[in-house]
């Protein structure tokens, strides 16, 4: 069943199980309408669904046509059913309504219409459809509860890019409900999680919702042996600094530069070496997950270490190809031939990653990148944060991308515990004058979520020192601390996870009190029959050194650099135990800041200059 | 060689797919299926399908699928599933194929009759329910599960409020929204607002609803009522900004300024920005009108040299400044399009002004303008070149707009730091400046290398002359 998803099952927690679960549920859902069907896809869903099912599978279930959801009318087709697969978003309802109106005026052969909401029906959307007078045209309105998509053996994403904005800007906590629900799904599959820790308002809300959902089940709890020991839920507002910083791991940089979308990126084809018989293809899709063993090795490395690994691998593979000259007997030849497919695959992957690394290097070697990085390093070390920084001014004068300017200013604001009024006003005016008055809204939004704020109580220095966020002398090749992912800065969020594992949060109570939002601690009772016999009488069992499994859930998104730091942490002996990371979405500074823009702010990418 | 097992597998795949090809008859398909059945143990799923398939012997394909009256079809199928579930809960391919050409048999009539009975029961139950007030918990659970529900029996205010409060404790967005909207629909506006003020969570959901339905007037009212005047002001401002027509935009901005920003002391800072926004638009409007006309007439040189790529209206301040420096640099300060007047009105910092003006004049190849711009009166009436952004940046900009070498050289000379000057001279390919800088640095080796590298150029001759000059003391 799990075709093309072997990489999901390679960790202690078999996430292939989750994928299979969704796959079954999805097929059941579309099978409810009989006969040939066309699926109309919300663009935001094609990527995630690609990770759980493939087109051939849908074809087997009589899906004959697939259309993207667009305004206007649907392309002609002679299927019996039209299935709209959509997220519960009002703007999409408009499009669906238009499609239906057109379809109905067309007349002719009568089709049946079905609507499937992912992950959940929404009252608002249904109302909208009723207002538009099309709700009655649907034979069925269903929901398909897919909230947490397995990206890799240790990574899950809800793919809700607007979760942060919705929660902290608009006070709309629907995504938190989905998060709680997805955690219930996980518990149904992998057993109840005994210990829950959390920090932040949303974390508390999620834990409360989980408690309620559990109460509602009233004893019908999953009879599954618990596989996850601890759950840590972190609000993004607890650590707003980390996602703003330039990620310096391989995967993090790829995401910042090209944007990884559902574990794949599109690259200019001509840069990926000679492509046999693929003329006219402008971009090529590259899938990035641990199924590619080379990528699995490279992804979490500091970019400065990538070059040497790639070249070592290249030498190795050349040597292995060279073995065929040494092969004399038929037996040796046979052995070589049996290795050949693997060798060829490795060589292909090596070529791909060499090209990607070159593209990344072009960006990281550029002056503007180095300057911005230097400026960032000054800020996080608490230098030059209380005055207008010349680089910021220059970026504005050059009309560089607004998200870059905002990024630097927000970093400065956080590291200075808020900007002095004079500095704030200066930046505000310059931004508005260069990027347009409409950005009053953007700046207002940033203030609302706390990324930009007026000068307040001094906490950054205390937090920085007590959690050892700044680490001098990091070894980028053979790191000894998580700080390698930002070349000298240890992500606050990951430090919290590290302290939780050892020696425990009690040791950092003071710092936790400085961070926003409440601390949450909860123990969920596990039926005696399902309890693990830890520290049991038979010493033989404990000596097997069974490792603890912790799930870390980021509300408001996580960056690839943080994921890398967590993976690094899991490999360290003193922390011990495996980690699984889940998040509302994978974010970068750009994606986070773009979502803060008011919707009336058209981007002024090209000015007459 | 690596294809061996792969191909075998692929073979099976294609065979499996063939079932659905139009040109394969049912009989043939069945044959393929039944033979495939013994192929492999891994294909348990497929086996189940087949078992069901072979039992439906009455399958026949007809050209047009038979329809039993639009809406009835779907429930019927549901029933059929219910009776068939036994071993296999999910609907299988064969079942789906089967229904395409199912003949109307006695079994169907039975099923439909059963269905009618079922539906009647449901209808009766629904009729009864309609007039009984269900407990709040039960109704909320129905909302949360997406089942049908009715709120019209909650008539007393306390019922409506308990529904709302319970929904809030359950933290379910759908339920809260439903309860809020029910309250709004059925009580007096004043009561609604009063209750909403006591329930911030409910208020947030109501606001999200209004935002989603573009009910801006009510959104702004509600925000103001809740004392969130800052948010109300921003919503109003956003609304004004999204107006397409410039005249309407200006008037709605003015209205927004009066009604929201000027009324709220805490928004004084933003109020002055919005006043600037209005002034900018009012400045752009006449310039755009007259320039568009001039360009259309095609007699003004500057518009022929630099065709306008954008309409000016709605551009930011610095872009406007650039535009005016490009097309209207020499206008008097009392004119709308005068760069100096823009600088004054929008309190542009000197550096920003210089940066933009130099760029614009460089594009227009107005080298003397740049020189004048950068000339500052020194002590005792002497004249001196001065650049707020530093001459390094000036050179950068000039180079970007392809300034000639003699102009570049002039400003290069003013870059104080010699290392920077040398780097810039190399970047802009100003050979003379390179030699001069090297001489200043007393770097004989550097000059020698230059002479070697560019041996064919005139500057190489100059370099050689420098090297022969005994007056120079080298390092």
Q: Which residues, numbered 424 to 483 in chain A, qualify as contacts with chain B under a Cβ-Cβ cut-off of 8 Å?
A: 425-426, 428-430, 432-438, 440-441, 444
CA angle A303, A307, A313 (to 5 degrees): 125
| Residue of B315, B392, B393 lying closest to B359 (CA atoms) | B393
Which neighbouring-strand residues pair with A470? A489
Cα→Cα distances A112→A35, A193, B100, B125, Å: 10, 43, 14, 28
Q: Which residues, numbered 337 to 376 in chain A, qualify as contacts with chain B under a Cβ-Cβ cut-off of 8 Å?
A: 337, 340-341
Residue B453 has a pLDDT of 86
Output the six-digit token pair for A530.
Answer: 């399902």
For B343-384, the DSSP string reads: HHHTT--HHHHHHHHHHHHHHTT-HHHHHHHHEEE-GGG-EE
**Distance from C-alpha of A54 to C-alpha of A57, rounded to nearest angstrom:** 5
Q: Is the pLDDT of residue A532 over 70?
A: no
**Distance from C-alpha of A549 to C-alpha of A561, rounded to nearest angstrom:** 21
**Distance from C-alpha of B95 to C-alpha of B86, rounded to nearest angstrom:** 14
| B-chain residues near A34 (CB < 8 A) | 73, 77, 91, 95-96, 99-100
Cα A39 to its chain centre, rounded Å, is: 26
Residue A598 has a pLDDT of 61
Residue with token string 């370099």: B463
**Distance from C-alpha of A1 to C-alpha of A18, rounded to nearest angstrom:** 12
Least confident segment among A341-345, A543-547, B357-361: A543-547
- Average pLDDT on B149-166 reads 89
Specify whether the backbone of A180 is left (phi greater than 0), alpha (psi in -120 to 50) or beta. alpha
pLDDT-based confidence at residue A273 (cuts at 50, 70, 90)? low
Residue B128 has a pLDDT of 73
Report the percentage of chain A scoring pLDDT > 70: 92
Output the six-digit token pair for B458.
Answer: 């005139």
Closest in A128, A598, A608 to B323, CB measured: A608
Output the six-digit token pair for A606.
Answer: 């090209």
- Average pLDDT on B204-222 reads 89
Residues 6+ apart with CB under 8 A from B117: none
CB contact (8 A) between residue B315 and residue A399:
no
**Distance from C-alpha of B270 to C-alpha of B112, rounded to nearest angstrom:** 68
pLDDT-based confidence at residue A106 (cuts at 50, 70, 90)? confident
| Residue of A52, A93, A85 lying closest to A66 (CA atoms) | A85
Cα→Cα distances A523→A38, A197, A211, A581, B120, Å: 47, 9, 10, 20, 48
CB B280 within 8 A of CB B249: no
pLDDT-based confidence at residue B386 (cuts at 50, 70, 90)? confident
CB A182 within 8 A of CB A217: no
Which residue is closest to B175 within chain A, CA to CA?
A123
CB B437 within 8 A of CB B421: yes
Q: Is the pLDDT of residue A455 over 70?
A: yes
Residue A169 near chain B (CB below 8 Å): no
Collapsed DSSP state (helix, strand, coil) of residue B465:
helix
**Distance from C-alpha of A418 to C-alpha of A453, rounded to nearest angstrom:** 5
Calculate how close chain B gets to A242, using CA atoms only, in Å: 28
Residue A247 has a pLDDT of 96
CB B374 within 8 A of CB B414: no
Residue B69 has a pLDDT of 38
**Which residue of A1, A90, A124, A424 to mutate against B (max B Cβ within 10 Å)?**
A124
**Distance from C-alpha of A310 to C-alpha of A261, rounded to nearest angstrom:** 24
Closest in A172, A426, A608 to B322, CB measured: A608
Read off the pLDDT of residues A386-436 as tens digits, 9 standing for 90 and up. 999 999 999 999 899 999 999 999 999 999 999 999 999 999 999 999 999
Q: Is the pLDDT of residue B49 over 70?
A: no
CB B145 within 8 A of CB B160: no
Q: Is the pLDDT of residue B8 over 50?
A: no
CB contact (8 A) between residue B319 and residue A27:
no
Q: Is the pLDDT of residue A59 over 90?
A: no
CA angle A449, A452, A454 (to 5 degrees): 115
Read off the pLDDT of residues A229-247 as tens digits, 9 standing for 90 and up. 999 999 999 999 999 999 9
Closest in B70, B171, B316 to A205, CB measured: B171
pLDDT-based confidence at residue A574 (cuts at 50, 70, 90)? low
| A-chain residues near B318 (CB < 8 A) | 399, 433-434, 607
Between A299 and B4, whose confidence is greater?
A299
Which residue is closest to A26 within chain B, CA to CA?
B90
CB B123 within 8 A of CB B117: no
Which residue is closest to A427 within chain B, CA to CA?
B349
Residue A527 has a pLDDT of 79
| A-chain residues near B209 (CB < 8 A) | 124
A536-548 per-residue burial string, b: 16 or more CB within 10 A, e: under 16: eeeeeeeeeeeeb
Least confident segment among A148-162, A261-275, A486-500, B180-194: A261-275
Read off the pLDDT of residues B19-41 as tens digits, 9 standing for 90 and up. 444 444 545 445 544 444 443 44
**Distance from C-alpha of A129 to C-alpha of A134, rounded to nearest angstrom:** 6
Calculate how close chain B gets to A534, using CA atoms only, in Å: 36
CA angle B238, A431, A459 (to 5 degrees): 100
Least confident segment among A171-180, A210-219, A299-308: A210-219
Residue B268 has a pLDDT of 87
CB B463 within 8 A of CB B450: yes
φ, ψ for residue A588, nearest 5 deg: -130, 170
Report the percentage of chain A scoring pLDDT > 90: 55
Residue with token string 């993090």: A252
Residue with token string 């009392």: B334
CB contact (8 A) between residue B178 and residue A123:
yes
- For the CA atoms of A582, A583, A586, A588, the dihedral, rounded to the nearest 10 degrees, stands at -120
- Average pLDDT on A578-583 reads 94
pLDDT-based confidence at residue A603 (cuts at 50, 70, 90)? very low
Closest in B93, B208, B310 to A608, CB measured: B310
Which residue is closest to A205 within chain B, CA to CA?
B171
Residue A130 near chain B (CB below 8 Å): no
**Cis? peptide before B67, omega within 30° of 0:** no
Between A130 and B96, whose confidence is greater?
A130
Helix intervals (H) in A502-559: 509-514, 539-543
Read off the pLDDT of residues B94-105 as tens digits, 9 standing for 90 and up. 433 334 444 556
**Distance from C-alpha of A168 to C-alpha of A479, rounded to nearest angstrom:** 35
Closest in A80, A122, A441 to B238, CB measured: A441
**Distance from C-alpha of B326 to C-alpha of B330, rounded to nearest angstrom:** 10
Q: Is the pTM here over 0.90, yes or no?
A: no
Helices B157-170, B200-212: axis angle to 10 degrees equals 90
Residue A376 has a pLDDT of 96
| Residue of A14, A15, A99, A79 lying closest to A51 (CA atoms) | A15
Residue A76 near chain B (CB below 8 Å): no
Q: Is the pLDDT of residue B87 over 60?
A: no
- Average pLDDT on A180-196 reads 92
Which residue is closest to A129 within chain B, CA to CA?
B213
Residue B71 has a pLDDT of 38
pLDDT-based confidence at residue B247 (cuts at 50, 70, 90)? very high
Q: Is the pLDDT of residue B129 over 80?
A: no
Residue B31 has a pLDDT of 52
CB A608 within 8 A of CB A579: no
β-strand pairing of A549-555 with A81-86: unpaired
φ, ψ for residue A188, nearest 5 deg: -65, -35
**Distance from C-alpha of B263 to C-alpha of A62, rounded to nearest angstrom:** 62
CB A397 within 8 A of CB A371: no
Q: Is the pLDDT of residue B400 over 50?
A: yes
| A-chain residues near B171 (CB < 8 A) | 173, 177, 205, 208-209, 212
- Average pLDDT on B232-242 reads 92
CB contact (8 A) between residue A174 and residue B173:
yes
């Amino acid at each position: 069943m799990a075709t093309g998803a072997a990489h999901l099952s390679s960790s202690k927690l078999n996430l292939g199980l989750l994928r299979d679960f969704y796959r079954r549920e999805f097929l059941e859902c579309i099978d409810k309408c009989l006969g040939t069907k066309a699926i109309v896809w919300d663009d935001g869903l094609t990527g995630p669904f690609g990770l759980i099912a493939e087109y051939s599978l849908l074809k087997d279930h009589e899906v004959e046509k697939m259309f993207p959801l667009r305004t206007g009318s649907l392309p002609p087709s002679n299927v019996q059913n039209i299935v709209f697969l959509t997220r519960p978003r009002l703007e999409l309802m408009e499009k669906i309504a238009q499609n239906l109106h057109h379809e109905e005026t067309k007349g002719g052969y009568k089709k049946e219409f079905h609507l499937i909401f992912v992950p959940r029906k929404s009252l608002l959307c249904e109302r909208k459809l009723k207002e538009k007078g099309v709700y009655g045209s649907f034979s069925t309105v269903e929901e398909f509860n897919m909230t947490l998509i397995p990206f890799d053996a240790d990574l899950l994403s809800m793919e809700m890019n607007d979760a942060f904005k919705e929660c902290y800007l608009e006070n709309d906590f629907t995504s938190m409900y989905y998060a709680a629900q997805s955690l219930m799904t996980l518990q149904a599959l992998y057993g109840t999680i005994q210990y829950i820790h959390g920090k932040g308002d949303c974390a508390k809300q999620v834990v409360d919702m989980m408690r309620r959902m559990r109460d509602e089940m009233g004893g019908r709890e999953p009879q599954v042996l618990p596989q996850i020991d601890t759950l840590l839920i972190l609000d993004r507002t607890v650590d707003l600094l980390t996602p703003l910083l330039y990620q310096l791991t391989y995967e993090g940089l790829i995401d910042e530069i090209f944007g990884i979308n559902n574990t794949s990126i599109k690259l200019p084809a001509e840069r990926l070496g000679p492509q046999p018989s693929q003329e006219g293809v402008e971009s090529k899709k590259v899938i990035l997950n641990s199924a590619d063993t080379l990528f699995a090795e490279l992804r979490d490395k500091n970019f400065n270490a990538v070059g040497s690994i790639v070249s070592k691998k290249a030498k190795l593979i050349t040597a292995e190809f060279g073995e065929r000259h040494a092969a004399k007997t038929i037996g040796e030849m046979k052995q070589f031939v049996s290795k050949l497919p693997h060798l060829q695959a490795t060589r292909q992957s090596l070529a791909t990653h060499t090209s990607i690394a070159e593209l990344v290097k072009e960006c990281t070697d550029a002056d503007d990148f180095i300057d911005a990085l230097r400026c960032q390093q000054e800020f996080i070390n608490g230098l030059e944060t209380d005055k207008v920084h010349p680089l910021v001014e220059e970026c504005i004068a050059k009309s560089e991308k607004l998200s870059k300017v905002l990024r630097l200013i927000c970093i400065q604001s956080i590291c200075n515990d808020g900007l002095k009024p004079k500095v704030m006003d200066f930046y505000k005016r310059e931004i508005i004058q260069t990027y347009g008055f409409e950005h009053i809204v953007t700046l207002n939004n940033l203030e609302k979520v706390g990324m930009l704020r007026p000068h307040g109580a001094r906490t950054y220095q205390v937090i920085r020192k007590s959690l050892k966020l700044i680490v001098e002398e990091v070894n980028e090749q053979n790191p000894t601390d998580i700080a390698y992912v930002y070349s000298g800065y240890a992500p606050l969020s990951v430090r919290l996870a590290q302290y939780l594992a050892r020696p425990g949060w009690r040791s950092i109570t003071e710092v936790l009190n400085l961070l926003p939002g409440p601390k949450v601690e909860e123990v969920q009772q596990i039926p005696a029959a399902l309890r693990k016999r830890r520290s049991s009488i038979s010493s033989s069992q404990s000596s097997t050194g069974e490792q603890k499994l912790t799930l870390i859930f980021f509300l408001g998104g996580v960056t690839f650099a943080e994921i890398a730091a967590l993976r690094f942490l899991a490999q360290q002996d003193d922390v011990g135990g495996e980690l699984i990371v889940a998040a509302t979405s994978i974010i970068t500074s750009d994606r986070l800041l773009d979502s803060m823009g008011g919707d009336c702010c058209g981007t002024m990418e090209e000015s007459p200059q | 060689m690596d294809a061996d097992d792969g191909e075998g597998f692929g073979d099976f795949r294609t065979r499996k797919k063939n079932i659905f090809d139009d040109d394969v008859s049912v009989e043939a398909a069945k044959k393929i299926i039944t033979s495939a059945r013994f192929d492999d143990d891994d294909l348990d799923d497929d086996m189940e399908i087949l078992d069901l398939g072979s039992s439906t012997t009455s399958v026949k394909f007809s050209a047009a699928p038979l329809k039993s009256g639009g809406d009835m079809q779907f429930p019927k199928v549901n029933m059929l599933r219910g009776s068939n579930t036994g071993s296999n809960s999910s609907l299988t391919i064969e079942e789906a194929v089967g229904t395409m050409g199912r003949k109307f048999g006695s079994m169907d009539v039975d099923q439909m009759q059963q269905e009618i009975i079922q539906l009647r029961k449901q209808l009766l139950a629904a009729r009864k329910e309609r007039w009984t007030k269900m407990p709040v918990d039960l109704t909320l659970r129905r909302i949360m599960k997406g089942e049908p529900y009715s709120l019209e029996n909650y008539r007393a205010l306390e019922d409506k409020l308990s529904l709302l409060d319970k929904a809030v404790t359950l933290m379910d967005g759908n339920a809260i929204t439903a309860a809020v909207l029910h309250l709004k629909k059925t009580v007096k506006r004043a009561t609604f607002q009063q209750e909403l003020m006591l329930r911030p969570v409910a208020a947030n959901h109501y606001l999200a609803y209004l935002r989603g339905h573009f009910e801006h007037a009510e959104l702004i009212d509600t925000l103001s009522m809740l004392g969130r005047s800052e948010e109300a002001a921003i919503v109003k401002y956003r609304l004004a900004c999204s107006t397409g027509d410039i005249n309407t935009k200006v008037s709605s901005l003015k209205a927004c300024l009066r009604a929201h920003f000027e009324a709220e002391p805490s928004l004084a800072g933003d109020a002055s920005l919005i006043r600037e926004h209005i002034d900018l638009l009012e400045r752009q409007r006449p310039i755009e009108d007259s320039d568009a006309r001039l360009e259309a007439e095609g007699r003004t040189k500057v518009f022929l040299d630099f065709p306008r790529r954008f309409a000016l209206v709605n551009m930011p301040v610095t872009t406007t400044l650039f535009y005016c420096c490009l097309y209207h640099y020499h206008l008097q300060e009392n004119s709308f399009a005068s760069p100096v007047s823009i600088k004054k009105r929008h309190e542009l910092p000197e550096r920003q002004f210089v940066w933009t003006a130099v760029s614009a004049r460089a594009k227009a190849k107005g080298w003397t303008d740049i020189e004048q711009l950068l000339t500052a009166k020194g002590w005792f009436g002497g004249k001196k070149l001065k650049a707020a952004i530093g001459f390094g940046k000036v050179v950068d900009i000039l180079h970007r707009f392809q300034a000639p070498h003699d102009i570049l050289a002039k400003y290069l000379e003013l870059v104080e730091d010699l290392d920077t000057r040398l780097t810039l001279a190399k970047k802009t390919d100003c050979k003379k400046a390179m030699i001069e800088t090297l001489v200043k640095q007393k770097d004989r080796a550097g000059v020698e290398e230059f002479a070697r590298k560019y041996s064919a150029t005139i500057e190489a001759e100059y370099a050689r002359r420098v090297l022969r000059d005994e007056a120079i003391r080298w390092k």
